[in-house]
Amino acid sequence: MTKIKYFKIIHTFLCSIGFNLLKFKNILYLYKYLGDLYKYKKKGGKIDYLFPIISDHKQQAGSFDKQYFYQDIIVAQEIFHKRPEKHVDIGSRLDGFVSNVASFREIEVFDIRPLNIDIKNIKFKKIDLMDMGENLQNYSDSVSCLHTIEHFGLGRYGDKIDPKAYLTGIYNLQKILKKDGYLYLSMPISSNTKIYFNAERVFNPFEILNINEKLEYVKFHFIDDEGKIFLNYDIQNLKNKVFNYSCGIFIFRKK
């Protein structure tokens, strides 16, 4: 594992308990804040409270995670063009993919954690995919699960510890689907499968291809380590490619 990867793990852990080492460097921008404050008051500006935000001027416009951002738009567009009767999502980003889809149609959201939301087009059900009821079989003609399957069984979100939970998850996703329905499944992918406990599993994409005999592979979109998009990508090209943390978007149809 590279030093950069070790640093990322340490940094993520520290952020989870309230310490962000990378933000300490922002103290260098305090001089700009104080200078702007002086200029504003000198020009007669009235100030009620001081509320220093000192680093936004150094950020990219609309700073975002490219892989999540592109993934959410790509799959939302797929669903827009398919126009399914019912779309169900399991665990994807509420402020990304779910809100994208809800802007043009109704979406039903399943998650193991509770959600307090009251907005048109988003219907929520608290459901554990590992232990779903019979009433959800053949439930929908369209199902998505984006950047979620990699967390199953690691306990991070209150789920039960189970090293094979991702297999159960994919099996149950296809059970929710009606015949000829479409599954949109994405996860972090790498040349080699890796598990970062309890954060996530990173998959070799060829593990996913034939993981369930009732799912027929339709196509694959690839977002590489640098965030570059490859739509309708030939997945076989990945056999000769070295990549560490990319995003793979699989589209399957239930036979």
Question: What confidence score (pLDDT) does residue 32 get?
Answer: 87
In tens, the pLDDT along 153-191 reads 999 888 889 999 999 999 999 999 999 999 999 999 999
Helix, strand, coil distribution of the chain in percent, nearest 5:
40, 25, 40
Cα–Cα distance list, 184 to 4, 148, 210, 217, 253 (Å): 31, 11, 15, 11, 9
Domain ranges of the chain: 25-63, 66-254
Q: Which helix (H) or strand (E) holds 88?
A: strand 88-90
- Hey, what are 82's tokens? 């398919």
From 187, 223, 19, select the one nearest 92 (Cα to Cα): 187
Report how many helices (DSSP H) and strands (DSSP E) the chain contains, helices first: 6, 10
Give the model's confidence band at 219: pLDDT under 50 very low, under 70 low, under 90 confident, else very high.
very high
For residues 83-107, average pLDDT: 96
Give the model's confidence band at 65: pLDDT under 50 very low, under 70 low, under 90 confident, else very high.
confident
Question: What confidence score (pLDDT) does residue 8 get?
Answer: 72
- What's the burial of 136, exposed, middle or buried (CB within 10 Å: 0-12/13-18/19+)? middle
For residues 55-82, average pLDDT: 84
Give the C-alpha separation, 108 to 94, whole Å.
Answer: 11
Backbone angles phi, psi at 121, to 5 degrees: 85, -10
Cα–Cα distance list, 108 to 20, 38, 217, 234 (Å): 35, 51, 24, 31
Better-predicted residue by pLDDT, 46 or 246? 246
Yes or no: say if 151 and 137 are a contact pair by the CB < 8 Å rule.
no
For residues 140-164, average pLDDT: 93
Give the C-alpha separation, 126 to 112, whole Å.
Answer: 6
Question: What confidence score (pLDDT) does residue 198 get?
Answer: 84
In tens, the pLDDT along 3-58 reads 556 667 776 776 777 767 667 777 788 888 888 888 988 999 888 888 887 777 77
Does position 2 have pLDDT exceeding 70, yes or no? no
Yes or no: say if 219 and 232 are a contact pair by the CB < 8 Å rule.
yes
DSSP classification of residue 245:
S
CATH superfamily of this structure's domain 66-254: Vaccinia Virus protein VP39 (3.40.50.150)
Q: pTM for the complete prediction?
A: 0.84
In sequence order, the β-bridge partners of residue 108 are 88, 123
Planar angle of CA 224, 70, 13, nearest 5 degrees: 70
First to last CA, the chain: 40
